[in-house]
Amino acid sequence: MKRGILNLLAVISLVPCLANAGLWAFSYFSGGRSSQRYVHSGRFNVAVGHGSIHAESYPSLPARPKVHYWQTMLFTLLYGTIANRWFFYTLMPLWMPTALFAAFPIIRLAQRYRTLPTAGLCASCGYDLRATPDRCPECGAVPDAVPSRPARRKTHA
């Protein structure tokens, strides 16, 4: 049950990862325009261009803004108030959400291939079955049928 839920979450995480990767590639091939607007309303704007996404919300009041600035290697955030109304502007490279959404599916794949059952071990608990190939003494599981060697024929000389 737990494994199925984690696999479902990995698939769900893969969908926005692929969407972001497509948007990231599209942002470089958008006909040479500096940005492509996707959402534009009276106070909110989202634009994509040259590998980054810009999101902003601003009041349209002519007043001196009170601005706060925060910049890291990964994104830039401007926020503050204009005439007691909040605004923000953020700039983020599109590879960042792509990498974040890809992390969980990659971890799940690594866990899956790291824990593949190997020959001679119990598939349920991993106990060494060389001494008791018919049944696992640790958990009681019966291993799948292992093809046995064909019996040797006695030859009369």
**Residue 14 pLDDT more than 50?**
yes
Tell me: do 141 and 78 sit in the same domain. no
Could you tell me the pLDDT band of residue 153, with boundaries at 50, 70 and 90? Answer: low
What φ, ψ does residue 109 adopt, rounded to 5°?
-65, -40
Tell me: do 104 and 124 sit in the same domain. no
Range scoring the smallest mean pLDDT among 6-15, 92-101, 140-149: 140-149
Name which of 107, 108, 110 is nearest 3 in CA terms.
108
What's the domain range around 85? 2-114
Residue 98: how many CA atoms within 13 Å on its side-chain side?
Answer: 15
Quote the pLDDT of residue 56.
80
d(CA 152, CA 53): 71
Average pLDDT over residues 44-65: 74
Tell me: do 18 and 72 sit in the same domain. yes
Tell me: do 136 and 81 sit in the same domain. no
Say how many domains are in the chain.
Answer: 2
In a domain, 155, yes or no: no
Quote the pLDDT of residue 31.
54
Top-confidence residue, 45 or 148:
45
